[in-house]
Chains A and B, each alone.
Chain A
Amino acid sequence: MELPVHPAVAAQLDRLTIPFNEYGLDEFGVSKKHLGVFYTPMYAAYEHYLRVTSFGTENVPSEGGALIISNHSGGFAFDAAMILCSLLMDHDPPRHAHGMVEYFLHKWPFASPMLARVGQFTGIPEHGERLLNAGRLVLAFPEGARGTGKLYRDRYKLVRFGTGFMRLALRTGVPVVPTAFVGAEEAFPTMLHLKLLAKLIGAPYIPVPPQLIPVPLPVACQVYYGEPMHFEGDGTEPDNVIDGYIREVRAEIRQLIDAGRAARPSDFMLNRMPDDSEPLVRGR
């Protein structure tokens, strides 16, 4: 059964510079066909449901490796899917990013092959390093499940950042693009967690929003890409140096989030924010 692929998605996929072989696969097993099937519903949500606007896409390099580092929120990783969509549909030239995925997802049947065919691999340093060295974009959320698992009362708080991404950036010499995703906290305001059920299925938590179903509310969202940050070093620095660098990235993301929130007419805004809004992405 052939699933339909949105023509705009197909056109952007054709422009990707990823070398696909005769089966439409790249060296990591990413399948062009699966990308079409994955991006089509995501793009529909991006355009018509969550009405995402991207700002500062010019800050994401057009070629070569880079680490997209974002805040993580919204119960489950739909913010990741929207950032992926933004990079494919709104970046010129289109880019496909590889998300660093929670360990448990690749244990699950159906989730594992689907994620693998669209290049979303388990978040281990080996994967990040190989992808970055191959000139790919890697999307990581240093807050991990701690970020998406936040309750609504803690919205837009940045919880502890993992340090792996910074060592990866230093080891591979790629820039870090600080990124903020705004709107996911309102689209999926988590009220409580189902702990027992989560334990049973091997997930870190199961969020319960007021709408009770695991579908975000149709709240308009925005994604802001900050200017790429370059750090000196080779990844062997002591933890206090790395922590200092991470504080810089964190501060940058904090600023993007605050400016992005201030620009929203209301927390639960429904209309798409126009592209020509005042650019909020400030240089460092």
Chain B
Amino acid sequence: MKVLITGITGVIAKGVARRFLADGHEVHGIDRRPWPDAPREIGMHTVDIRKRPAEDVFRKVKPDAMIHMATVTHFTTRFEERYRINLVGTRRLFEHCAKYGVKQAVFVGRHTIYGAASDSPLYHTEDEPPLGGSTFPELADLVAADMFAASALWRWPELNTSVLRFVYTLGPGRRGTLATYLEGPRVPMVMGFDPLFHFMHEHDAEEAVVRAVHHKLRGVFNVAGPPPVPLSLLCSATGRRAIPLPEPIFRRSLGRFGFPKMPSSATPHIKHPVVVDGSAFVKTTGFEYQYSESQTMEGFRWS
């Protein structure tokens, strides 16, 4: 099978690429960023997903499966650029898939699109509307990208599309939204709140992507690992010191005093839990997580 992975230089994408290689598949990758020490067998294409050369990759490679992992968050990219990458990029890729006979498309999304609020359900199921954008405008483009990817299910029925909404990933790769938040030795919390955080090991996330392709998964699925833990425990188990700050001070401290730089509208996500029900994915693919919550946190801590 020929697999094309966009955003291949991301930590999880690299892991996915290695797993497909190990299984004897032909792997190609698209990314604007280079991967200088990529395994020789991987066909690297240093192009932008929004530009014409990306279409040429589809034309030449004719992949059987496309895994879209080239979405970006507020942690890495500025507002307008983010919209272009996440929305225009996603649209182009799905159009290429339809045009060049790709059989399986996997969109790797995030669980945060469900949004965090005091009255939202503890375990989100796939049929719930993604309300993330309502309190956290920086998520609106990811919500839209997720919805667009899901629209491929009726837009191009012959293309088998799966939209995976992953919980936070954590592990030795030290990349991703949660790892960025936990980067420093001191982690700011909102005083009086201690939400559950739902995360999984990055190796388990890689395995989940691989399974989605092998099972020709179709539809929208939450992907989760072990049960969630409170933020205070997450901080202590990863060797961080949690610093509870009154909410107005928390909002003003972001990006200062060594605290992570994030928009103040992310505050609800530090006050209330976003936890998902991943049972449908487990039932369909037989996925089982290999890393417990403590192994995942320790793996991140000691990397």
Contact flags (1/0) for B241-282 with A, using CB distance below 8 Å? 000000100000000000000000000000111000000000
Given A29-B196, A29-B273, A124 and B119 contact (CB-CB distance below 8 Å): yes
Contact flags (1/0) for B80-108 with A, using CB distance below 8 Å? 00000000000000000000000000000
Are A122 and B118 in contact, with the CB atoms below 8 A?
yes
Are B191 and A109 in contact, with the CB atoms below 8 A?
yes
Judge if B194 is at the interface, Cβ distance under 8 Å. yes
Are B122 and A113 in contact, with the CB atoms below 8 A?
no
Are B121 and A124 in contact, with the CB atoms below 8 A?
yes
Are B193 and A113 in contact, with the CB atoms below 8 A?
yes
Are B190 and A29 in contact, with the CB atoms below 8 A?
no
- The minimal Cβ–Cβ distance linking B299 to chain A, given in whole angstroms, is 16
Extra pairs beyond A106-B272, A130-B121 (12, CB < 8 Å): A22-B292, A22-B294, A23-B233, A23-B293, A26-B227, A27-B227, A29-B228, A108-B192, A109-B247, A112-B118, A126-B121, A126-B123
- Complex Cα distance, B227 from A31, in Å, reads 13
- Complex Cα distance, B123 from A26, in Å, reads 13
Q: Which residues of A contact B122 (CB under 8 A)?
A: 28-29, 121, 126-127, 130
Contact flags (1/0) for A10-29 with B, using CB distance below 8 Å? 00000000000111011111
Q: Which residues of B contact A116 (CB under 8 A)?
A: 194-196, 273
- The minimal Cβ–Cβ distance linking B223 to chain A, given in whole angstroms, is 16
Given A122-B118, A126-B121, A117 and B230 contact (CB-CB distance below 8 Å): yes
Are A23 and B229 in contact, with the CB atoms below 8 A?
yes
- The minimal Cβ–Cβ distance linking B117 to chain A, given in whole angstroms, is 9
Are B230 and A127 in contact, with the CB atoms below 8 A?
no
- The minimal Cβ–Cβ distance linking A148 to chain B, given in whole angstroms, is 19
- Complex Cα distance, B279 from A130, in Å, reads 13
Judge if A107 is at the interface, Cβ distance under 8 Å. yes
Top 8 closest pairs, chain A to chain B, by CB: A109-B192, A126-B121, A113-B194, A106-B118, A110-B192, A29-B196, A27-B227, A107-B118
- The A/B interface has a contact count, at CB < 8 Å, of 66
- The minimal Cβ–Cβ distance linking A120 to chain B, given in whole angstroms, is 12
Judge if A103 is at the interface, Cβ distance under 8 Å. yes
Q: Which residues of A contact B (CB under 8 A)?
A: 21-23, 25-29, 31, 103, 106-113, 116-117, 121-122, 124, 126-127, 130
Q: Which residues of B contact A (CB under 8 A)?
A: 118-119, 121-123, 190-196, 227-230, 233, 247, 271-273, 292-294
- Complex Cα distance, B273 from A122, in Å, reads 13
Q: Can you list 7 A-B contacts (CB < 8 A)?
A: A29-B229, A29-B273, A107-B118, A109-B247, A116-B196, A122-B118, A126-B122
Chain B minimum-CB-distance residue to A129: B121
- Complex Cα distance, B193 from A117, in Å, reads 11
Are A106 and B119 in contact, with the CB atoms below 8 A?
yes
Q: Which residues of B contact A126 (CB under 8 A)?
A: 121-123
- The minimal Cβ–Cβ distance linking B222 to chain A, given in whole angstroms, is 14
Q: Which residues of A contact B271 (CB under 8 A)?
A: 112
Chain A minimum-CB-distance residue to B226: A21
Q: Which residues of B contact A108 (CB under 8 A)?
A: 192
- The minimal Cβ–Cβ distance linking A172 to chain B, given in whole angstroms, is 15
Are A103 and B123 in contact, with the CB atoms below 8 A?
no
- Complex Cα distance, B195 from A135, in Å, reads 24
- The minimal Cβ–Cβ distance linking B298 to chain A, given in whole angstroms, is 12
Q: Which residues of B contact A21 (CB under 8 A)?
A: 227, 293
- The minimal Cβ–Cβ distance linking B56 to chain A, given in whole angstroms, is 47
- Complex Cα distance, B207 from A163, in Å, reads 44
Option from A26, A106, A110, A113 in Cβ contact (under 8 Å) with B230? A113
- Complex Cα distance, B194 from A29, in Å, reads 11
Q: Which residues of B contact A113 (CB under 8 A)?
A: 192-195, 230
Given A113-B192, A130-B123, A29 and B230 contact (CB-CB distance below 8 Å): yes
Chain A minimum-CB-distance residue to B227: A27
Q: Which residues of A contact B233 (CB under 8 A)?
A: 23, 25
Chain A minimum-CB-distance residue to B228: A29
- Complex Cα distance, B292 from A110, in Å, reads 28
- The minimal Cβ–Cβ distance linking A23 to chain B, given in whole angstroms, is 6
Are A109 and B193 in contact, with the CB atoms below 8 A?
yes
Q: Which residues of A contact B196 (CB under 8 A)?
A: 29, 116
Q: Which residues of B contact A107 (CB under 8 A)?
A: 118
- The minimal Cβ–Cβ distance linking A194 to chain B, given in whole angstroms, is 23
Are B273 and A109 in contact, with the CB atoms below 8 A?
no
Q: Which residues of B contact A103 (CB under 8 A)?
A: 118-119
- The minimal Cβ–Cβ distance linking A65 to chain B, given in whole angstroms, is 16
- Complex Cα distance, B194 from A21, in Å, reads 18
Chain B minimum-CB-distance residue to A34: B230
Chain A minimum-CB-distance residue to B247: A109
Q: Which residues of A contact B230 (CB under 8 A)?
A: 25, 29, 31, 113, 117
Option from A27, A112, A127 in Cβ contact (under 8 Å) with B121? A127
- The minimal Cβ–Cβ distance linking B284 to chain A, given in whole angstroms, is 19
- Complex Cα distance, B195 from A150, in Å, reads 33
Chain B minimum-CB-distance residue to A113: B194
- Complex Cα distance, B193 from A130, in Å, reads 23
- The minimal Cβ–Cβ distance linking A2 to chain B, given in whole angstroms, is 15
- Complex Cα distance, B193 from A283, in Å, reads 45
Q: Which residues of A contact B121 (CB under 8 A)?
A: 124, 126-127, 130
